[in-house]
Chain A
Amino acid sequence: MIIRIMGEGQYRAPEALCNELNQIDNRIVALVTEGKADEFRKELAKLISEIKEKGEAVEAEEILESNIIVPPEDLSFEEAKDIFKGSGIFED
């Protein structure tokens, strides 16, 4: 899977990592639905840092389309409601 973190480039994520990310993604959907803005922010930051730590940065020389686009860390809570709904950004 190629994941783009908006404004920070692309990462390659193996399937195990994607499963882990999907769990965080689902937690974020729940937090957004419950209106818990602070906890949402923590989880979104975690989602992004997990991708950066455990994923492999795509070389600048490679031009690839992403499978998943992750919003930036400072995403507004309002906008999060439009993005993190249903199964979130990772398919279940």
Chain B
Amino acid sequence: MGLFTRMETVFKSKMNKILNRMEDPRETLDYSYEKQLELLQNVKRGVAEVASSKKRLQLQRAKLMQNIDKLEGQAKDAIAANREDLARLALERKAALVQQVEGIDREVVELEKQEEKLIASEKRLSTKVEIFRTRKESIKAQYSAAEAQVKINESVTGISEEMADVGLALERAENKTEEMKARAEAIDELMEAGTLEDLTGSKDEIERELAKISTQSSVESELARLKAEAGKGPEKEKAGEEGKSAEEKKEA
């Protein structure tokens, strides 16, 4: 059953439960009040859960951004080394991560909306609970006739609708945070297992290739230096000769 369709069902069954439960109608008021306080506590917890769910997504976003920066750097290095293929690979991976970040951004906006609504609901309910408490005492004090029963029913009905609505809003928020938790865990697992990198190509591969290139180029420059020292470089010829002869003299 959908959430809205359940609103009426939840509301009606709650009402019946509350109204049929007590022999003395005045107890109905106390019972309802107890339930209201419970619900308020739960809503407060719900608000905290939505906030921590948001926090978690934001941390994950930061992690993804770090990876994106790293891939961007790798792409630059690859271009500098004339390896367009590697640069392309890095950029492809970056694009996949950017997509994840966009998804997270949308979720965060949604969570924020939900958080806002839930906080407003909490405020409304807590005001009503306070009003209900005062009214409850005055009804109880004047209780004598069937007239009180009508008043009791009226106040309990009004607040029960509010409670059903807030209860469902809370349920929606809880479903959402569960969903977000699962999503965050899935991304965490993917990042840990390297599957996210594997799906878009392995990160290590780019690093290895870039490392190879920088090794190669440093080997080339070492080689050039050694050649120069060995007297094959035109300008360093003299210096090399001098060095050699000095060493020969020393040995002699």
Contact = CB atoms under 8 A, between A and B. Distances in A.
Nearest to A66: B161
Contacts of A66: 161
B14 interface: no
A63 B162 contact: yes
Interface string B162-180: 1001001100100000000
Contact of B4 (A60, A65, A79): A79
Interface residues of A, number: 20
Given A60-B127, A79-B2, A65 B117 contact: no
A76 B175 CA distance: 15
Contacts of B169: 6-7
Contacts of B7: 6, 69
The 8 closest A-B pairs by CB, nearest first: A79-B2, A60-B127, A63-B158, A71-B4, A7-B169, A60-B124, A65-B158, A65-B157
Contact of B128 (A4, A8, A60, A69): A60
Interface string B62-89: 0000000000000000000000000000
Interface in A35-92: 60-61, 63-66, 69, 71-72, 75-76, 78-79, 82-83
Contacts, number: 60
Contacts of A76: 2
Interface of B: 2-5, 7-8, 117, 120-121, 123-124, 127-128, 131-132, 135, 155, 157-159, 161-162, 165, 168-169, 172
Interface of A: 4, 6-9, 60-61, 63-66, 69, 71-72, 75-76, 78-79, 82-83
A61 B159 CA distance: 11
Contact of A61 (B127, B155, B172): B127
Given A60-B124, A64-B158, A65-B158, A8 B132 contact: no
A63 B128 CA distance: 7
A4 B161 contact: yes
A69 B8 CA distance: 9
